[in-house]
A and B are shown apart, each in its own frame.
Chain A
Amino acid sequence: MNIKDKFVAFNSNEIIDNEKNNQRDTQDNLYGDNFVKEEVVNQKNTKQKNVSQKKTRFEDFSSDKSFDSVYREESFGDGVYLDYSATTPCDPSVVDVMSQSYKIFANPHSITHMYGWNATDLVESSRAKFASIIGAESKEIVFTSGATEANNLALKGVISNRRRNGLENPHIITTNIEHKATLETCHTLEKQGVEVTYLEVEKKTGLLDIEKLKKSIKSNTVIISISWVNSEIGVIQPIEEIGNICEEKNIYFHIDAAQALGRIDVDVKKCKATMVSFSAHKFYGPKGIGALYIKKRTRVDSIIDGGKQERGVRSGTISPQLCLGLAKAAEFSTKDLESENIRMKEMQDYLLSNLNNSISDIFINGDMNSRIPHNVNISFACVEGESLMMKMEKYAMSSASACSSQTLQPSYVLSAIGVDEDLIHTSLRMVMGRYTTMEDMKNFTNDLIESVNFLRNISPLWDMKKKGIDLKTVEWHDHH
């Protein structure tokens, strides 16, 4: 076989458009894609004889009973992962497809030979697939290293363009609970003379008040940047309403959808966004790739200089494999979104109702109605968050407690929604995802109740509270 035939076999369009071969349902056709040479499959089969059981996992891994136990064991061991907002495990079928595509090695920007063309095809078919999932056109997608870069590009790129075109003091509106990728970008721009309004979200709920937003708009406002779903408290902002306002006032609307895709239905046209940031590893894709949707005719300057790849907006060689991984992951995670959300809601309800019945003095942080069902953020009075996580070391979670952070600074998100500093120290964030089962949640709930009780029993604050002492009136001796 000559090399050209081989590459025909690696037709990248088939890798991405393989609806007819539903990978998850067909054990024999694991990779679903015709580009996999037969001998490769055979070789793999002999190598993986012992783990051939694994191959049944695509039946339906969203339901408790059929999720592949081998994959679970290999990834999670005896532990339970409840930190899906930090990252998600890369979907094994995404990994499979990606690893097969590593035969496409060339630089997708090499347009002088067939190797390059194949790589370009893979990138472009991935781009088209991803675009179709979020309701965009191919040319509206720019691949980046992740959502952080996408946010930087959206804000700095637009500001730079406006300034280049004569607007000296552009104004940005964002909120005080944005991700650091947005906040720090705004801080940098502020140092360069850009005006930034950090809108205060509502206390307790963490939701943005539309009237407040309207009032903050000025004649020099060029962009409003809001995250769709907050990573700490999981609240969903009224994106469509904000989109309408931006459209009406002719202001660019940037959405950070890093926590949204795969958890809520994302349609960039429906929410009237000008730009939307994504990150693959938040929806079961690989780490190291994200995307920025940039609506046609949006004026954005590049912020990285180089070979003017990605239509001149983002220089640097992009990885065809990562592009494929992003597209595949987006496809898989949006497919079973509705049924998954129902499952999440059941687990969230189970946890909350059992906690409420078993322990007192717990406080849910953030609105419960406009919230992704995956997220639970609770403060347990008189129990410090880090110690609670250590007590439950089997479960991977995070806390907004200062003691659990590298900087010893408590969470600015919980402060922003008015949570008392002492209750911030007692907060715990659990984020469920695809591989969380109801059984996990039942065990977790029991262990959580037991651990809270254990730590409250040794807590001087709990002891004082029980004796009726108002902790707010106590004179404390800070040692810091």
Chain B
Amino acid sequence: MHKYNTKINTEFQNPANTGSMDENDPAVGMGFVGSPSCGDVLKLFIRIENDPNKSLEDQVIVDSSFQIFGCGSAIASGSHLTKLVKGKTLSEAEKITNKSIASNLELPPIKTHCSVLAEGAIRGAIENIKEKKSNSK
């Protein structure tokens, strides 16, 4: 186990926004990445405001939560990600990269894959919402 910095430790000890959302809700997007045999699985939920006057890209993420199976920095990355996406529009959230998560948390290089996992989760969640919208049209 690594000796983590305070940022990661704090985020790990009190992870924000843990929990799930109704996956069938059209306003909810779910990103599901990783595998148990790799040692980390992240399920990210985002809820958009669903404002009929806005385009999908401009919809603001009003809530986010996550479930995690993974190491300390994976838990910290998930928690950080939920805070990061809240208040962002989908097009803004789409621009979140693993690099920004890694640098925000100062992840040790050996744990970079945790931020890759987080990037995959937000991409997946946005993709999921887009799919739901195009299916409902």
Chain A residues at the B interface, C-beta cutoff of 8 Å: 382-384, 386-387, 389-391, 398-399, 401-404, 406, 408, 410, 420-422, 425, 457-463, 471, 476-480
Given A390, A398, A425, which contacts B39 in the complex, CB threshold below 8 Å?
A: A425
Give, as a whole number of angstroms, the nearest-CB distance from A383 to chain B. 7
Contact present for A390 and B110 (CB under 8 Å) = no
Complex Cα spacing A159 to B60, Å: 71
Contact present for B36 and A387 (CB under 8 Å) = no
Task: Name 10 A/B residue pairs within 8 A (Cβ), A-sorted.
Answer: A399-B1, A401-B71, A403-B70, A458-B15, A460-B32, A460-B43, A476-B35, A476-B38, A476-B41, A477-B35
Q: B32-86: which have CB < 8 Å to A?
A: 32-43, 66-72, 74-75
Tally chain B residues at the interface, Cβ within 8 Å: 36
Point out which of B1, B42, B72, B74 has the most chain A C-beta atoms below 10 A from its C-beta: B1
The 4 tightest CB contacts between A and B, nearest first, are: A476-B35, A422-B36, A403-B71, A460-B67
Contact present for A390 and B42 (CB under 8 Å) = no
Give, as a whole number of angstroms, the nearest-CB distance from A406 to chain B. 7
**Contact count A vs B, C-beta below 8 Å:** 101
Give, as a whole number of angstroms, the nearest-CB distance from B105 to chain A. 14
Residues of A within 8 A of B110 (CB): 406, 408
Chain B residues at the A interface, C-beta cutoff of 8 Å: 1-2, 4, 9, 12-13, 15, 18-20, 32-43, 66-72, 74-75, 110, 113, 116-117, 120
With A384-B70, A421-B36, A460-B32 given, name 14 new contacts (CB 8 A).
A384-B69, A386-B1, A401-B71, A420-B37, A421-B37, A458-B18, A459-B41, A460-B20, A460-B68, A461-B36, A462-B69, A463-B67, A477-B120, A479-B38
Complex Cα spacing A422 to B38, Å: 7
Complex Cα spacing A429 to B50, Å: 48
Contact present for A384 and B39 (CB under 8 Å) = yes
| Complex: chain A residue closest to B68, CB-CB | A458
Given A390, A421, A480, which contacts B12 in the complex, CB threshold below 8 Å?
A: A390
Residues of B within 8 A of A477 (CB): 32-35, 120
Give, as a whole number of angstroms, the nearest-CB distance from B34 to chain A. 6
Residues of A within 8 A of B2 (CB): 404
Given A399, A404, A459, A480, which contacts B113 in the complex, CB threshold below 8 Å?
A: A480
Given B35, B38, B69, which contacts A382 in the complex, CB threshold below 8 Å?
A: B69
Complex Cα spacing A196 to B18, Å: 51
| Complex: chain A residue closest to B20, CB-CB | A463
Complex Cα spacing A478 to B70, Å: 13
Contact present for A383 and B71 (CB under 8 Å) = no
Residues of A within 8 A of B19 (CB): 458
Contact present for B67 and A387 (CB under 8 Å) = no
Complex Cα spacing A439 to B112, Å: 39
Complex Cα spacing A240 to B23, Å: 60
Residues of B within 8 A of A402 (CB): 39
Residues of A within 8 A of B75 (CB): 387, 458
| Complex: chain B residue closest to A422, CB-CB | B36
